[in-house]
Structures are given as structure tokens and as C-alpha cells.
Amino acid sequence: MCGIVGYIGTKREAFPILVKGLQRLEYRGYDSAGVALVNGNHELSVYKAKGKVADLEAFCADKDITGSVGIAHTRWATHGEPSSLNAHPHYSQSKNLAIIHNGIIENYAEIKKKLMNHGVKFLSDTDTEVLVQLIEYIQSKKNLDLLTAVQVALHQVIGAYAIALLDKRHPDTVIAARKQSPLVVGIGDGEFFLGSDASPIIEYTDKVVYLEDGNIAVMKLGEDLKVVSLQNEKLLPEIKTVDIDLGQIEKGGYPHFMLKEIFEQPECLKNCMRGRINVEHDSVKLSALIDYRSWLINAKRIIIVACGTSWHAGLIGKQMIETFCRIPVDVEYASEFRYRNPVVGKDDVVIAISQSGETADTLAAVELAKEKGAFIYGICNAIGSSIPRATNTGTYIHVGPEIGVASTKAFTGQVTVLTMFALTLAEAKGTLRHNEYTRIVKELVEIPEKIKEVLKTNEQVADLARTFTYAHNFLYLGRGFSYPVALEGALKLKEISYIHAEGYPAAEMKHGPIALIDSDMPVVVIATHNAMYEKVRSNIQEIKARQGRVIALVSKGDTTVSKIADAVIELPDTLECLEPLVATVPLQLLAYHIAVCKGKDVDQPRNLAKSVTVE
Ligand code: F6R
């Protein structure tokens, strides 16, 4: 978590670039923000404010914000409460250096103690301040230049970091380094940009270098980008061209990114399928599955590792792969998998699902599975992020940058890729009858249009939200492919509206949750016309018998459930295995509108961050 931005050049003022960059990275954390600038007189100023980037801007209104060199940070607190004191950048004791940091220095307490014994005084409770003080201590004690001091210091720290440093005595240079936390350098004409991802950079240049773990970038005016290792070996930076349209990371007339991203889903899923589904031949090709065909068809087992919403997509993937390909699939929380010495080996394929491609637990699970000899397949959104780079192969979901903290289009993108994966693998293994395969492919292509139809219920869902905003608890029920949808609906609601919500397999209700039901309890039930319809209908009767209030997602034209439910949202018919792609959408809208009615900060809910780079 935390967002990092940097700029060094001669032609432009740094402050506006840094602030705009921070706004784009605010999804990574937003409990405080700060900026360090070197002005024309070589003075280094640090300004910080508790709260969002807008609070920092207001704070800086009467400050000297001139200068064409600077670094800036938006924070998601780990060590030390959210406050302006703990906000980054942090000065070194002499105030010659300023640092910003994303990650955690695990052995900070031990280093801090040693430095304090040497008379170093600390102002904040953060692990980051320890790092800048250590660098300065090494620099002055051993009379080293900044780069060497950084290398020596980073050898001593345990943990994860993306850092950027300014030294006011060398205002023509910014130094940045990374281990486990992402960092991208943008290369302009006589200027450099820095970002936790490419979004603060793309407005100015499309040439970027994704720093590798253990690399240090030296951005010096008048020189080419220099990249070295911690051991000071010179490395050749690989310059890539990024292809992100600025419109993709702006709100485009919607009041919130979340709503924009919900409405983008038809287009996103078309992009996700483009070049992969051949509509004339009703066939799917994933290049990763062609290149690594034998690994994948010979897999004895598939293990899916992910967190949060991506884990829910994994649960749908499991049902799809098991049904179509007859390979056993386990779905694991990455955070559990990595710490329990799992049984995994060379006959296993591990699929890591992650929107950001940076989730620390998922990345660690990938590394562990790799060590144990498994073949690793990534399903990610952020191009060039850490997880895709750590995998053997994979498929990008191509839904464009997701800015709203609550994941929406990434979920449907992940489910779409998992569907294409299962179909391609099933075809290669010969485990799915051809007519069945064709039927699913044909229907998958229709899904974007069906989602468009579902989006027309937006106003109806907004009305429903007004009716149910009073609730303190919600239950979400579904069976089969709809069970993960119930989990996802509940997660969406709790994360943005702070209403407690639980997702359950509908039949499990009788084994405990039914005790919660009374006339105050809204229960969202996915009750479409599929194999489980009759059973789910009985579950609804059980809820009504206890005065629960039922919001049912039903198939278009349903007349039975509609009579007993308090409210219904109609969904277009589709195949059962593809229902999650349409049924999730009204649940995203419901959570969105309830949060709006409650006046919550939809795009940046409290305590959350988009990219969870701490474990
Ligand atoms: C929920 C949400 C989180 C993420 C989880 C994993 O809306 O966004 O639960 O799904 O933090 O993140 P990624 O997919 O980036 O690994």
C-alpha cells in the first residue's frame, strides 16, 4: 500500500505533477499525504497533512511550492497512527535528506535502538524514518556518497520497500529502490518521473522502466537513467512502452470511479475476450495455453491462490475447471497457503489471481509454490506488476485500470478469463463434448450485451437501496455457481457501506444463520431458473416464514418467486456456469447505492487500500 510519486526535470514545476500523481495513486492509501521539494535556492522543504491529497493541497496553499525536483507520498498506515507527524516524506536528522517509502521495514525497532544509542533523535513512530536516519548515519560515519550509503543501508534492512530519496546537497538527483513493493520510472526528454504504478506518469511519457526487486534507479539531470543492484553491478534497464489511455483513469462524468467501473463492464469483457475468442468458429485460444500445453493438460491438480474478491473469482473458476476439465481444484487464501507448508509439487499448476498483481500474500504464495516446483499461471490486471512477472505464464484480464477500491470490473474480468481457461483446457483434454463447448463459447460472447441489460436496472436498484439503507445486517444466499456471487455481494456491501453482511450457501442457512432472521433482516437470494431453483425457492419460503425481507435475483419472467419476495431484480437468461457474470452486477449496484445513501466515501472506504502490499 502507499503511493509514491517523484519528478526531476528542468522545464516543469514539480508540485502540480506530484499532486496529480498522488490523486491517481490515492487508491493505494489515503490517511495522510506529503511532498518534499527542492527549490531554486537548493532548500529542501517537506509539507505533510493528515487526510487526503486534497488536504495536503489546502495545507500547501500558502507555502513555497516552487522547484522542479520533488517526491510525494500518500499513506496507508502500518507503523504509527495516521497523523501529519507520521506522514511521509521523513527528514533525516540534519534535514539534508528526505525519504518516501511504501512497504514495511521489519527490523526497524532493532535499527532504531542502535541509532538512538548513537544519539540519533526520532520524530515519528514510523519504520520509514528509521531508514532515512540509517542512510544518513552511514553516509556521515563512513563519508559515503548517497548511492553507496543507500546500498549499505538496504543490506541491513529486512522487509519490503519502494523508496525515493532526495539529498538537498545534490538537487540534480533522485534515488529510488525497490524490493517487493512496485516502482516504475518514466523517462521523458531530460526529465524523469516516478510512480508506484504508471498512472502518474502516462500523461507525460509512455516510456517506462519497471524496476526489478533489489534494483536501485539513479535519476540524474543531464544523464541517462542508471540502474544498479544492491551490490553496485550496473544493469541494463529494459525500457517498455505503456499503452494506457488517460481517459481510462479519469471518472468520465460518473460521480464515482466505482459506478464508472460497474458500467464499463460490457466493454471491459469485450476487451478481455478480444483476440481470444473466434466468433466465426466458436472457439477460444489462450496463447499461454498453447505455449505451455503439456504442463497444463498433464496437471494432476490445480491450486488457486488469491485474496478477497479475487478469491471469490477463484471459487467460480474451481467449479468451472472441475466441471469442464475434470481436474481437482483447491482454492486457497494466499495468506493461509503461504504459512502452512502446503503439499504442492511439480505435478500441480498454481493459478494466482490478482487485480493489482501486487498483493503481498499472493506474491509470497507464488514464490512458495515455485520453490516447490509447481507451474505458476497468473491471472492479473495490472500489466507488468510483480505477480505476472513472477509466474511462468498467464493471461491478463485487460479490463483497464481499476481505481475504485471495491473491485468490480476486475472480478467479472477474472471470471471471464477463468471461463476461457477452463474451456481451452477442456478442449485440449477432450473432457467437454464439442456441442457443449460451442454452446458455452457462444453464450460467453453474448455476456457483455446481457450485462448491458442488467445495467438498465440501475434506477430500480437505487430505489431498493433507499428502502434498505436502514439495515445493520444483510444476508446473501446462493447455491452452486451463485454461492461465490453471494460472498462477493456481501463483501461489496460491507466494504463500502460498513453494513455487516454474510454470504452463505443457501442450504446452509438452516444450520445456523436462520436464527438471525427477523423482520429487520434483508436477505438477498440468487434464485434464477437453474438446477437449484426449486431448492432455493424453498429457502425463500423459510425466510418469509420468519418475516425476513427477501430481495431476489430472478430470471426474466419469473412469476413464482416474484410473488413471495419483497423485491425482485430480473436477470436475462444465461447458462448456469455464466450466471455469476450477470448476477454480480446488480449486487455491485446495490452496494454502491446503499453506500451513497449512507453518505460513505465509495471510492475510498475507510481502512482499505486498493493494493495490499503488506501481509
Ligand atoms: C474487494 C477487494 C479486495 C481485493 C483483494 C485482492 O473489493 O478489492 O478484496 O480483491 O485485496 O486484491 P488483488 O486482486 O489486487 O490481489
Average pLDDT over residues 249-273: 91
> Ligand 1: which of 1, 27, 309 to mutate, judged by most atoms within 8 Å of the beta carbon?
309
Closest residue by Cα to atom 10, ligand 1, is 309
End-of-domain residue from the set 203, 226, 244: 244
Asked about 268 being catalytic, the answer comes back as no
44 lines ligand 1 (CB under 6 A): no
* 374/517 same-domain check: no
Q: Helix, strand or coil for residue 326?
A: coil
End-of-domain residue from the set 244, 265, 299: 244
Give the distance (Å) from ligand 1 centre to CA of residue 604: 13
- Is the pLDDT at 614 greater than 70? The verdict is no
Asked about 450 being catalytic, the answer comes back as no
In whole angstroms, give the CA distance from residue 565 to residue 250: 39
Element (H, E) at 149: helix 146-156
* 421/463 same-domain check: no
Looking at the CA of residue 492, tell me the nearest atom of ligand 1: 7
Average pLDDT over residues 493-511: 93
* Active-site position among 2, 268, 272, 577: 2
Q: What would the pLDDT profile of 51-102 be if each residue is shown by its tens digit?
A: 989 999 999 999 999 999 999 999 887 777 888 889 999 999 999 999 999 9
* 348/420 same-domain check: yes
Q: What would the pLDDT profile of 431-448 be if each residue is shown by its tens digit?
A: 999 999 999 999 999 999
* 343/475 same-domain check: no
359 lines ligand 1 (CB under 6 A): yes
Which amino acid, one-letter code, is at 391? Answer: T
Q: What would the pLDDT profile of 291-314 be if each residue is shown by its tens digit?
A: 898 989 999 999 999 999 999 999
Say what the pLDDT of residue 244 is. 77
* 295/253 same-domain check: yes
* 213/144 same-domain check: yes
**Domain that includes residue 254, residue range:** 248-454
* 145/255 same-domain check: no
Say what the pLDDT of residue 133 is. 97
Residue 606: is it exposed, middle or buried by C-beta count within 10 angstroms (0-12/13-18/19+)? Answer: exposed
* 324/293 same-domain check: yes
Dig out the grid coordinates for 395 from the structure. Answer: 493471461
In whole angstroms, give the CA distance from residue 204 to residue 197: 14
Question: What percent of the chain stands above pLDDT 70?
Answer: 99
The phi and psi torsions of 198 (rounded to 5 degrees) equal -80, -10
| Number of domains forming the structure of the chain | 3
- Is the pLDDT at 374 greater than 80? The verdict is yes
Report the 10 Å Cβ neighbour count for 233. Answer: 9
Closest residue by Cα to atom 16, ligand 1, is 354
Say what the pLDDT of residue 280 is. 87
DSSP characters over 546-584: TT-EEEEEEETT--SHHHHSSEEEEE----GGGHHHHHH
Give the distance (Å) from ligand 1 centre to CA of residue 544: 34
309 lines ligand 1 (CB under 6 A): yes
CATH number at 19 reads 3.60.20.10
CATH number at 605 reads 3.40.50.10490
End-of-domain residue from the set 228, 244, 260: 244
Give the distance (Å) from ligand 1 centre to CA of residue 27: 12
32 lines ligand 1 (CB under 6 A): no
Say what the pLDDT of residue 613 is. 66
Give the distance (Å) from ligand 1 centre to CA of residue 491: 10
* 583/474 same-domain check: yes
Closest residue by Cα to atom 3, ligand 1, is 308
* 283/400 same-domain check: yes
* 142/253 same-domain check: no
* 326/279 same-domain check: yes
